Amino acid sequence: MTRAAQNLLLLLLGGAVLWITLGTGEFTNYVKPGLELPLVGSALLLIVLGLAGMRRDWNDDADEHPHGRSVTEAQAQAPAQQERSGAPGVPPAVRAGVEDGPVPAVTGTAPEALTVPGGREQGTHGSGKAEEGEGEEDGGHGHAHGGPRVAWLLCLPVLGIFAIAPPELGAFTADRNSSVTRAVAAPPSIDQALPAGTGPLAMSVAEFVGRSFEAQIGGDPTLEGRTVKLIGFVAPRKQGHWYLTRLQMSCCAADAIAVQVIVLGAAEPKKGAWVEVTGVWKAPPAKESGSGVHYLNATGVTPAAKPAHPYE
């Protein structure tokens, strides 16, 4: 991978992150809203780093140093190659001097370019002794021959962000949620009584499930007889009825687990649709008690807009 490509990659990454934070706000589909500031900061740092690198390369060109470019490449590749053949390394304070750039050879020109003394001929069994081995170069990490070819993979998230632009997780993920994860999702205990009043009480699905769970394991049945209002999306249930679902993430979408309430007494809307359900909690039959099953006797189901922060 050339220096130019590395700089470019830094710019692309920084640009993609700025796009999903300041540009579209899509980042809440993936991570918690609080991460916005660190994301913007690191994106700016990436962009500065890429621009600084580009400026350096540009200046080097302007130097009219007839072989300047190739000289740098050569010397950067040479040590890397030695390193692969088992040469001693150098502390990083030093490596950078050797390194500017093509941390070893990834571009198409790589193989034939490696004719530098101390190259492959030194043999792979490691008596090679070079003062300038590029220490931390993971030239030989098993599968990727000679370098950060692996860095090209950084294009993948950029491509994903722009070309797929995946939405928040939904019914597909809820379907895949297994019994084990549901057991893991034992909600935090909630012991206050509900605020007084008679109208439908807006509540997060997680809170509803938490209170329901408390009641099932012998706590106060705080939900008893109270009409509540929950917002979530529709996920099918194989054993009949349907789930009102909300995904809960503790850190990012990758660890999202579904919090689900079985809705009784209402026809199933379209899978994945966001709905607001009004209804009253129903205690599960004794044999299901405490097993992570929660029922709501629905009195009304209306379509709802997707919340700004789709995860709870």
Partner 1 sequence: METTEVMEERLPPADWRPRKASPGADALWLFISIAAVLVLARIWVAPHASAPALQAWATIFIAICVQALPFLVFGVALSAAITSFVPARVWTRVLPRHPAAAVPVAGVCGAVLPGCECASVPVAGGLMAKGVAPSAALTFLLAAPAINPIVMVSTAVAFPRDPGLVAGRFAASLTVAVLAGWLWLRFGRTDLIRIPQGPPPGAGRWDSFRQAMRHDLMHAGGFLVVGGVAAATINVVVPASWVDSVAGIPLVSVLILAVLAVLMSICSEADAFVAASLTQFSPTAKLAFLVVGPMVDLKLIALQSGIFGRRFAVRFIPLTFALAVVVSLAYGKAFL
Q: Map the footprint of partner 1 across residues 129-158, applying CB under 8 A.
A: 129, 131-133, 135-143, 148-154, 156-158
168 binds partner 1 (CB under 8 A): yes
Among 172, 202, 224, 299, binds partner 1 (CB under 8 A): 172
Q: Map the footprint of partner 1 across residues 213-252, applying CB under 8 A.
A: 250-252
261 binds partner 1 (CB under 8 A): no
Min dist. Cβ of residue 191 to partner 1 (A): 18
Measured between alpha carbons, how far is 80 from 114 in angstroms, rounded to an integer?
10
Closest CA to 259 of 281, 243, 275, 276: 243
Of 57 and 214, the one with the shorter C-beta distance to partner 1 is 57
Q: Is the dihedral of CA 27, 31, 32, 37 positive or negative?
A: negative
Q: Map the footprint of partner 1 across residues 106-125, applying CB under 8 A.
A: 113, 115-117, 125
> How many C-beta atoms lie closer than 10 Å to residue 112's C-beta?
7
Task: For residue 223, give every residue at least 6 positions away whose Cβ sits within 8 Å of its Cβ, in sequence order, or none.
Answer: 194, 208, 211, 212, 215, 280, 281
C-alpha separations of 119 from 24, 34, 102, 116, 123 in Å: 49, 49, 16, 6, 8
Of 154 and 194, the one with the shorter C-beta distance to partner 1 is 154
Of 75 and 289, the one with the shorter C-beta distance to partner 1 is 75
Q: Map the footprint of partner 1 across residues 19-78, applying CB under 8 A.
A: 20, 27, 29-31, 35, 38-39, 41-42, 45-46, 49, 52-54, 56-61, 63, 65-75, 78
9 binds partner 1 (CB under 8 A): yes
Min dist. Cβ of residue 215 to partner 1 (A): 22
180 binds partner 1 (CB under 8 A): yes
User: Which residue in this structure is represented by tokens 């030239």?
Assistant: 139
299 binds partner 1 (CB under 8 A): no
The first and second tokens of residue 168, run together, are 């928040």
177 binds partner 1 (CB under 8 A): yes
The first and second tokens of residue 119, run together, are 């190259």
Q: Map the footprint of partner 1 across residues 189-218, applying CB under 8 A.
A: none
Min dist. Cβ of residue 43 to partner 1 (A): 8
CB 256 within 8 A of CB 173: yes
Q: Which amino acid is at 169?
A: L
Closest CA to 260 of 183, 205, 216: 205
The first and second tokens of residue 106, run together, are 């990834």
